[in-house]
Every structure is written in structure tokens, then in C-alpha cells.
Chain A
Amino acid sequence: GENVEQHPSTLSVQEGDSAVIKCTYSDSASNYFPWYKQELGKRPQLIIDIRSNVGEKKDQRIAVTLNKTAKHFSLHITETQPEDSAVYFCAVHNTDKLIFGTGTRLQVFP
């Protein structure tokens, strides 16, 4: 089955800096890669997604890049703000379900 690895597990940045979170997957048949933001005790919220026919997608301060050959994709957050502090999960759509990475706790210090 699909295996999703996510790094780092924790990330601390100063407000205004950039943050990058990386995920790798194992099944080359996977073709949809969303990123979710989850605040404590709340639902995962979709913040950006990318399909395998696209290499990069950007939405304001958030971007995702995909390297299908190497089977890895990354989340980039620029100009981080304290409200970006949360746990971020990558996910891979495989055999009609989402498989999540292990999560990255991002802390943005003012």
C-alpha cells in the first residue's frame, strides 16, 4: 500500500520568514496531493492541492510543488504570520481514499 512520509515533525520560524514542509510517497499511481491545516481539536482544513499533471501551484502566500519522478511534494509558506501556527498534514489520494503524512507542527514566533 501507499506510504507517506513527512518532514520535519516540528518547525519553528520567526514571523515573516518562510516555512517549507516536505512529503514523500511510494506509489507512483497516486495522482492527487492535498495539504491540510489543523488547529488543536478542530477539523483538517484543505489549504491547497495539486494534481500529478501540474508541477507547481500557488495561492497567495502558499505554494505547493510536486516532483512526480522523485515522488515528493512540498508546501511552501512565505511571509509567515502567527496565525499560520498549526499542524500541517500532507496527504496522498490512493485507491479512493486519502492517506495522511505524520504531520508537522509549525510555530511562528512574533
Chain B
Amino acid sequence: AAGVIQSPRHLIKEKRETATLKCYPIPRHDTVYWYQQGPGQDPQFLISFYEKMQSDKGSIPDRFSAQQFSDYHSELNMSSLELGDSALYFCASSLGGRAATNEKLFFGSGTQLSVL
């Protein structure tokens, strides 16, 4: 079965550079979530989209922005990168927006971002 696809798998950037992470949800899933996981930490919710509209926002820095496109894929744009942005970034998808099915999240393999 198709899973959530994230690219790239690894990304190395310098401080103050920009990065773009991509996420392709499971087919027919209409909700996408972004999580940031630092070393030894739990995943922290950044932002989510339902039907191409932002549905919730967590601890996402102003330097980050995201959107969901017409084909439901999503991109997380990160600017003015800082050393502390080094983390594993997961995308997850679910089906159903505000229906009960939206509770079950399926995670991608993540993008390991290293800021040097």
C-alpha cells in the first residue's frame, strides 16, 4: 500500500540558508501535518492543512511557512536557518478532515535536516 512520501531524506544546509521539505500524502488523504523532532525529543506539532487550508498551527517559527497544493502535497519552507533547526521533520497524513477518521495519522519516513 502507498505510504506518505517525504523528500529529501537528508538535507544539509548552512546557517541563514533556506530549505524546502516536501510531503506527498497517502492517496485520498486530505489532511497533512508537519512535526519536528529534535534528538531524544518527542515529535512537536508545527502546522496542519485540511483541504488546502491551514487548519491548525503549533510551535512553528515565523521563519517557517507551509502550504498544501491542489494535489494535496505539502511543502514546508524554512528560511534563515539556525543551528537549532537541526531535527527530523515528519509529515503525516490522515483522511477526513474533522471526521473521526482524521484521528489516525500515518507518518512519512522523515527528512533529517542538519544545519551547519
The interface of chain A, by Cβ under 8 A from chain B, is 32, 34, 41-46, 49, 89, 93, 95-103
Check B93 for interface membership: any CB of A closer than 8 A.
no
B residues contacting the other copy or chain, number (CB 8 A): 26
Please give me the residue from chain B that is nearest to A36 by CB atom.
B107
Known contacts A32-B103, A100-B43, A103-B42; is-contact A95 B56 (Cβ 8 Å): yes
Selecting from B12-20, B69-77, B108-116, the interface stretch reads B108-116
Is B88 an interface residue, CB under 8 A from the partner? yes
In the assembled complex, 10 residue pairs joining A and B whose CB atoms fall closer than 8 Å, in A order, are: A32-B103, A34-B103, A43-B110, A44-B43, A46-B105, A49-B104, A96-B50, A97-B48, A97-B56, A100-B43
Q: Are A89 and B42 in contact (CB under 8 A)?
A: yes
Whether A34 pairs with B107 at a CB distance below 8 angstroms is: no
Which B24-58 residues have C-beta < 8 A from chain A? 33, 41-45, 48, 50, 55-56, 58
For A99, what are the chain B residues with a Cβ–Cβ distance below 8 Å?
Answer: 45
Q: What are the residues of chain A within 8 A of B105 when measuring CB–CB?
A: 34, 46, 98
Name the contact of B90 in the complex, choosing from A44, A46, A93, A101 (C-beta under 8 A). A44
Neighbouring A residues of B48 by C-beta, 8 Å: 96-97
Interface string of B54-70 (1 = CB under 8 A from A): 01101000000000000
How distant is the Cα of A34 from the Cα of B106 in the complex, in angstroms?
11
Write the chain B residue with the least CB distance to A1.
Answer: B58
Residues of A close to B109: CB separation below 8 A: 42-43
Q: Give the residues in chain A near B45, CB-CB below 8 Å.
A: 97-99
Further pairs besides A96-B55, A96-B102, A102-B41: 12, Cβ < 8 Å: A41-B112, A43-B107, A43-B109, A46-B104, A46-B105, A93-B103, A97-B48, A97-B56, A98-B105, A99-B45, A100-B44, A101-B42
Q: Are A43 and B104 interface neighbours, CB within 8 A?
A: no
B58 near A97 with CB under 8 A, answer yes
8 closest residue pairs by CB, A with B: A32-B103, A100-B42, A43-B107, A93-B103, A97-B45, A100-B43, A44-B107, A102-B42
